[in-house]
Structure 1
């Protein structure tokens, strides 16, 4: 049974070597992420969204070379990891966080970014038999402010305020209600993994704490820790 869950964003700027001059600006976010994942125990399962559904096993290794610096990561800390080609960004971030936290291993499941809310809920329900800490990776809207990656949208701040409130209170109904069409319009990367989390958490009592929320580079980032009550 999964009893501990952490939600984090997945920007490459979490890695200091990739942040360059923005490292001080992202320091608070980075520390919140590291503080959160240290609660997950030794074995993790990470869930994220992507264009191709796949599983990245813990016996994998990769590098952030494609993002500007050859920072190498492994998904297991026993020295048995082998190169697995170009890892998707969520797997790289999960591996980097694992290494920083000193956890044993992390398996990564990439779910189709177009998965329906019902399918996400079903996937989440099937995860609850795992005896691991759950790492949920996903960004909010990328349309905060005139310099945002997705161009400014006045709906973005209200959307991410609602997501932060839901993650900070373990509000499963609010997460289930996230509209795929609106999320696509706002450039939201976290809708699918958040709805997988809602499926997993259904029927149980959870204590939740929001450690960070903000949009330092025009993208909504949220860090929360959930513990089964």
Structure 2
């Protein structure tokens, strides 16, 4: 059963700057540990769904940063690498990527499966919002991006798995919401259980929506 979840952004910039956001993410991660889960799994989007062991590592060298996280040879995709870095010295019990374009039902089923791997499960969900929030954003500015981003922020703040499960993949793709699939894995793990949600921080310094949130 899912007992706690944190949502953090998979941006490599958090390793070099965005100090306030990094602090908020580590506060959320500390709360995951405080929940004393039997299993802690890092979830993030990638090209395909793949499970990795807890000792797996990743590197940010392809993004021009001499940063490696983990204990074995680097194999993790970007989202999971950033999650591993945020965890510091405390390795998770495993990593799970989900295809960025995975259908909703596939994401929900994966989340439900992760929620059953141990009596008490915690998830570190690496997911961001729209990358179309300003003229300087990676994606083309879209006036629909801010309301969509607010929908995600509210779902995190209110611990509303139904709202996350209802995110439309086509709309998310248009607005460059790369975290959509990972957020729907969280929705699947949560199911119909009730949680207390907290949005510790929301920011968009480069036109990309970043969140630090916690469900307990």
Please give the TM-score of this superposition, normalised by the length of structure 2: 0.91
Q: In 1, are the aligned partners of 2:43 and 2:80 still within 8 Å (CA)?
A: no
Query: Cα RMSD (Å) of the superposition?
Result: 1.5
Equivalent position of 1:201 in the other structure: 190
**2:109 match: secondary structure:** helix
1:205/1:12 CA distance change after superposition, 3 Å: same
- TM-superposed CA distance for 1:203, in Å, is 2.1
1:166/1:62 CA distance change after superposition, 3 Å: closer
**2:128 match: secondary structure:** coil
**1:161 match: secondary structure:** helix
Equivalent position of 2:7 in the other structure: 7
CA distance in 1, matches of 2:162, 2:58: 36
- TM-superposed CA distance for 1:209, in Å, is 0.6
Equivalent position of 2:56 in the other structure: 60
Q: In 2, are the aligned partners of 1:98 and 1:106 still within 8 Å (CA)?
A: no
CA distance in 1, matches of 2:116, 2:74: 27
Equivalent position of 1:94 in the other structure: 83
Q: In 1, are the aligned partners of 2:132 and 2:145 still within 8 Å (CA)?
A: yes
Question: Match for 1:46 among 27, 42, 56?
Answer: 42
Q: Does 2:180 match 1:188?
A: no
Equivalent position of 2:72 in the other structure: 82
Runs of 5+ unmatched residues, structure 2: none
CA distance in 1, matches of 2:198, 2:92: 24
- TM-superposed CA distance for 1:158, in Å, is 0.9
- TM-superposed CA distance for 1:177, in Å, is 1.1
- TM-superposed CA distance for 1:106, in Å, is 4.4
Q: Which has the larger radius of gyration?
A: 1
CA distance in 2, matches of 1:58, 1:200: 19
**1:134 match: secondary structure:** strand
CA distance in 2, matches of 1:63, 1:124: 26
CA distance in 2, matches of 1:46, 1:106: 8
List 4+ stretches of structure 1 deviating above 3 A. none
Instruction: Show the 5 A alignment for 1:56-205.
Output: 56-74=52-70, 81-85=71-75, 87-99=76-88, 102-131=89-118, 132-205=121-194
C-alpha deviations, 1:79-127, integer Å up to 9, x for none? xx32144x3101211210111xx42434211111121111211111111
Q: In 2, are the aligned partners of 1:64 and 1:92 still within 8 Å (CA)?
A: yes
Equivalent position of 1:78 in the other structure: none
Question: Match for 2:27 among 20, 30, 35?
Answer: 35
